[in-house]
Amino acid sequence: MKSHSLYLLLSAAILFNACAQSPQTQSNSPQTTDSLYTFGNPTSADGTGKFYLGRDIAQVMGHLGAGWLERSEREEEERTDLLIEALELESDDVVADIGAGSGYFTFRMSSLVPQGKVLAVDIQPEMLRMIEEKEQKQQVQNIETILSTVENPMLPKDSVDWVLLVDAYHEFSHPYEMMSQVAKSLSPTGKVALVEYREEDPSVPIKPRHKMTEAQAVKEMEAVGLELVENKKVLPQQHLIIFQKK
């Protein structure tokens, strides 16, 4: 597909290693140890050489890729409408869109939770500014932007009904720390919706480290106390895997 080919070309120019992020997003915690992560040669050009439970963590797409996130054909290609529908959001839900980027899902969900709110979380202030400008222009009242770190999404504890992670988790430089904090943020009935391109399907035209298998996702979520609820097989190229606290 033309748009995916464009992405593959664009990403080669705009991907950058997580260690090169701006100082405010760098890790300040001494808790990252080789017991969690190992280091070696990247398994492909889009890997970092930092491994978590056997997975080579992917490089990060920067804010210059925002145009690809908002491309007009995205809904048809990825069926983002089916993704949102599958969450079955309640009108008063608190939803965290982690790795919100330009706000593609943030704004689509905000209208579905008029008595709730959407927490748009990102480590890139440039992305959050895009959301804030659009929020002001559209006069949306129930979106809150949150500048996170690479280890902590800065979410309120025990209060989030849904956490949405769309094509973002595989780029987390500190996945164990991030997801441990995500688990703490969930309400008693809260769930995590993990969306990742299917690595099991070689026909999916995405760089290899930017895809995940269901088995790998389950292994990594179990490491932070989250268990598989369902893999909703409604999307043409991506997993939509639902987790909740054990």
Q: Which residues contact 235 (CB under 8 A, 6 or more apart)?
A: 78, 79, 82, 83, 195
Longest distance between any two alpha carbons in the chain, whole Å: 48
pTM for the full predicted model: 0.83
Note the pLDDT of residue 168: 94
Q: What is the mean pLDDT of residues 224-245?
A: 97
Q: 225 pLDDT exceeds 90?
A: yes
Mean of per-residue pLDDT scores for the chain: 86
Is 115 within a domain?
A: yes
Q: What percent of the chain has pLDDT over 90?
A: 76
Note the pLDDT of residue 68: 55
Domain that holds residue 120: 2-8+35-245
Q: 34 pLDDT exceeds 70?
A: no
Is 110 within a domain?
A: yes
Q: 11 pLDDT exceeds 50?
A: no
Is 16 within a domain?
A: no
Is 20 within a domain?
A: no
What is the count of structural domains for the chain? Answer: 1
Is 130 within a domain?
A: yes
Is 97 within a domain?
A: yes
Q: What is the mean pLDDT of residues 77-99?
A: 96
Note the pLDDT of residue 73: 75
Note the pLDDT of residue 75: 76
- 145-184 pLDDT, tens digit per residue, is 999 999 999 999 999 999 999 999 999 999 999 999 999 9
Q: What is the CATH number of the domain that holds 221?
A: 3.40.50.150
- 47-66 pLDDT, tens digit per residue, is 999 999 999 999 986 554 55
Is 19 within a domain?
A: no
Q: 236 pLDDT exceeds 90?
A: yes
Q: 27 pLDDT exceeds 60?
A: no
- For 87, half-sphere exposure in the C-beta direction (CA atoms, 13 angstrom radius) is 29
Is 218 within a domain?
A: yes
Q: 220 pLDDT exceeds 70?
A: yes
58: left (phi over 0), alpha (psi -120 to 50) or beta: beta
